[in-house]
Chain A
């Protein structure tokens, strides 16, 4: 069953990769990034349970904390930039830097 878990984790990672590379909308980019991170967490959890590699679980917690920080700060930055540019696509967000 470890093989099944890993194949599904790879599939989730690939879907996330497709989302990151094809979509330009901010929220979809975020969903895709979270999918990439969750694929890694799935791999770690599966290897801890199926192979008995207990060191994977603290690593999974650490990855989850980093994902949360990234989401909280990223959405905040987006909200702040969106307020001035009125755009949801990061490529179109051009702001003037006032010195």
Chain B
């Protein structure tokens, strides 16, 4: 089940980068973030999942929709550098190799850690501040964006 979720996330990520229409690209991006949020909820990180869905699928996707209203719905064709695929794949292989080499150390950490009870209750104030920061930044971005998009009133007409 997890593998299906994560495979879908990767497919949507590739679609959002390869689509020629920016609306298709944005919908793929939003769906990818939604799936990641649902995946966090299945990992028992419910607040993080909801945070992800509200912030990315709700806030950032709408901000990007504002951006699309500015630039139009089609991307300009650009020549992709053939080396970038090789570099990205090499980076993936290097990261995976490093992870599997040092995997045992991570499992050693696991044996020493004791899960704290009531972590959310103790950090509730910090969470409220984080929510306020995110909400304020998204609101600020949206209002300023509306100001930028809005045509100026002509007094001379």
Which A residues are within 8 Å of any B CB, using their own CB? Answer: 1-8, 10-19, 21-28, 30-32, 34-35, 38, 41-42, 45-49, 51-54, 57-58, 60-62, 64-65, 67-69, 71-73, 75-76, 78-80, 82-83, 88-89
Which B residues are within 8 Å of any A CB, using their own CB? Answer: 2-3, 6-7, 9-10, 13-14, 16-17, 22, 25-26, 29, 33, 36, 39-40, 43-45, 48, 51-52, 55-56, 59-60, 63-64, 66-68, 70-71, 75-76, 78, 80-81, 84-85, 87-89, 91-92, 95-96, 99-100, 103, 106-107, 109-110, 113, 115-116, 119, 123, 126-127, 130, 133-134, 137-138, 140-141, 144-145, 148-149
CA A7 to CA B138, docked complex, whole Å: 32
User: How many pairs, one residue from A and one from B, have CB atoms within 8 Å of each other in the complex?
Assistant: 196
Contact A8/B17 with A13-B95, A25-B75, A76-B148 known, Cβ cut-off 8 Å: no
Nearest chain-B residue to A58 (Cβ)? B123
Centre residue among B14, B48, B127, B130 by max chain A CB count within 10 A: B48
- Selected contact of B22 from candidates A21, A27, A35, A82, CB within 8 Å: A27
